[in-house]
Amino acid sequence: MRIGIDVGGTNTDAALIGDDGQVLATVKTPTTADVTGGVAKALTGLDATEVSAVMIGTTHFVNALVEAARLEPVAAVRLGLPATAALPPLVDWPERLREAVEGAVYLCHGGHEYDGTPISDLDPEELRRVAADIRARGLRSVAISSVFSPVSDESERRAAEILAAELGPDVHLSLSSEIGRVGLLARENATIVNAALRPLADRTVAAFGEALRVAGIDAPLFLSQNDGTLMDVAHARRYPVATFASGPTNSMRGAAYLSGLTDCAVVDIGGTTTDVGILSGGFPREAAGEALVAEVRTNFRIPDVLSIGIGGGSIVAEDGSVGPRSVGFRLTSEALVFGGSTLTATDLAVAARHAAIGDVSLVAGVNPERSLKIIAERVAEAVDRMRTSSDPLPVVLVGGGSILISELPGFDHVRRPAHFEVANAVGAAIAQVGGEVDRVFSGPREAVLKEAKEEAVARAERAGATAGSVRIVDVEEVPLAYLPGDAIRIRVKAVGDLDLEKNNA
């Protein structure tokens, strides 16, 4: 059996999945300020200790970035001189976040051209002087980025060896070649974010482990990644940035599992927002290029999700419009059906007999028809904006707030599967292990494509996938005609089943 847990801003959801794939039990409990308290309560509520693994999806790290809180000052080391000096690290960050994260910025020699040719030789003495300054400033997290490191990570790895030798094991090092894709500034930003979160990741992962111990569960712990796959606790400590979009991703993966559909639109309606995404082959369609996270431009793996301000806690205005303002976690005290004084979207659903929540007599005078129609039209418009063709598109509704929708105008195939309210926890429980390659290759197409696929499969197996279960789920080729030497950018994604025997060893 497996336990899947999704820690949201309002609720912590948990689901127990049997070895036959059936959902055996579910729990929904309020998220606590310390996060782990809600996890421990959810685990206790499931009343299952003999489990093979526990998978957790959390918004803890992205919330820290959004709030500009609990972040560690970072030493940003860029290798690229004499190039790249015009736009130093953190140049495009919002001031509030920059003040919280910037410890020091260093421009050093090194880096490579698109074809792996060195821009300049790495200077060990220069890096030792940088290390001395980092030590003098008392900085504990270092982000190392290099020009075209997805093509050649040699400069970053050599720099990491020199800095580690000078600074010792207590300083965290994050390398951009392990985190982002082609595109220096966006990849560097993602690396700096990761470095700022490393100490918080250590504390959070340890607290999750303690929550399992308190619940009497002796099983390996995994965290959900942005692309719907899993990482073990050691990986989570090194790459907390990989969890940022795990919430929407888990919901979409859970929707595919519960509905039996692998190609569809997923509408996840929570307490404050509605997230709309597209599933292709059972995995979320990924955002193309760069993505803004807390106003910081990044280029790590993240699902293509459109969010609108409609949820179960959305406040209904006098003109019948709904959202984007929401009562959020105060729903059970402020909504009319719970004796409060605020008309919310949940009150509309209860008045329309879409749900049996609270006291229906308290909304006897509410006419929900117009506002619910507005909600359905806005959600349908969001789904329509996400589709890429006019072909019929099935829609799966999940999340506790999906009770607001009975039908979507323009979409004939709409379903709300069993256990829809905890689809995010189910998605975490059934997640697989993945490996991805995204870099520029030079050479004959068939040879480099074969090399990229083999590397993606090997990465998935190293991450904990069962040998022989790994399959290629996505291949993207972009010929770079403006570069000589048959240059081609290849992105390959592979996934496989979690090898519990290896991870329990």
CA angle 205, 224, 232 (to 5 degrees): 55
Has residue 2 been placed in a domain? no
Whether residue 12 lies inside any domain: the answer is no
Burial of 503 (0-12, 13-18, 19+ CB in 10 A): middle
Give the SS3 label for residue 324: strand
What pLDDT, on a 0 to 100 scale, did the predictor assign at position 7?
Answer: 81
Task: Answer whether 141's CB lies under 8 Å from 172's CB.
Answer: yes
Contacting residues for 366 by C-beta, under 8 A, at least 6 apart: 336, 343, 347, 348, 351
Q: Are residues 457 and 490 in the same domain?
A: yes
φ and ψ at residue 395, rounded to 5 degrees: -125, 130
The pLDDT value given to residue 504: 54
177 in the same domain as 126: yes
- Is 183 part of a structural domain of the chain? yes
Q: Clarify whether residues 399 and 266 are in a common domain.
A: yes
Residue ending a domain, among 420, 452, 486, is 420
Domain boundary among 420, 451, 482: 420
Within-domain flag for 289 = yes
Q: Which domain holds residue 478?
A: 432-504
Instruction: For residue 330, tell me if it sits in a domain.
Output: yes
Evaluate whether residue 427 is within a structural domain: no
Residue (of 503, 496, 430) closest to 57 by Cα position: 430
CA distances 311 to 162, 251, 403, 463, Å, are 50, 15, 10, 36
Q: How many domains does the chain have?
A: 3
Q: ∠257-263-268 over CA atoms, to 5°?
A: 60
Same domain, 273 and 413: yes
Q: Are residues 306 and 184 in the same domain?
A: no
Whether residues 451 and 354 share a domain: the answer is: no
**Do 155 and 267 reside in the same domain of the chain?**
no
DSSP strand pairing (487-496 vs 471-479): antiparallel
Beta-ladder partners of 53? 2
- Residue 434, CA distances (Å) to 52, 167, 231, 495 in order: 19, 32, 9, 4
- Concatenating the DSSP letter of every residue in 422-468 gives GHHHHHHHT-EEEEEEEEEEES-HHHHHHHHHHHHHHHHHHTTBPTT
Domain boundary among 169, 197, 225: 197
Report if residue 247 sits inside a domain. no
Q: Does 380 map to a domain?
A: yes
Distances in whole angstroms, Cα of residue 155 to Cα of each of 108, 121, 174, 404, 441: 11, 9, 13, 53, 18
pLDDT of residue 178: 87
Q: Is the domain of 279 the same as that of 372?
A: yes
Provide the CATH number for the domain around residue 407: 3.30.420
User: Does 379 share its domain with 499?
Assistant: no
**Do 313 and 460 reside in the same domain of the chain?**
no
Domain with residue 102: its CATH number is 3.40.50
Q: What's the whole-model pTM score?
A: 0.80
- Are 84 and 107 in contact by the 8 Å Cβ rule? The answer is yes
Query: Do 441 and 359 share a structural domain?
Result: no
Task: Tell whether 401 and 485 lie within a shared domain.
Answer: no
Return per-residue pLDDT of the chain as tens, 505 residues. 889 998 876 678 899 998 888 999 998 887 777 767 788 888 888 877 788 889 998 877 887 887 888 899 999 999 999 999 999 999 999 999 999 999 999 999 999 987 778 999 999 999 999 999 999 999 999 999 999 888 788 999 999 999 999 999 999 999 999 888 778 999 999 999 999 999 999 998 998 888 888 888 888 899 988 877 888 888 889 999 888 878 788 888 899 899 999 899 999 988 778 889 998 888 888 777 677 787 888 887 778 888 888 888 888 988 888 878 888 777 888 899 999 999 999 999 999 998 888 899 999 988 888 999 999 999 999 999 998 888 889 999 998 888 889 889 989 899 999 999 899 899 989 888 888 887 778 888 889 899 999 999 998 888 778 888 898 988 888 777 666 667 788 888 888 888 776 655 4
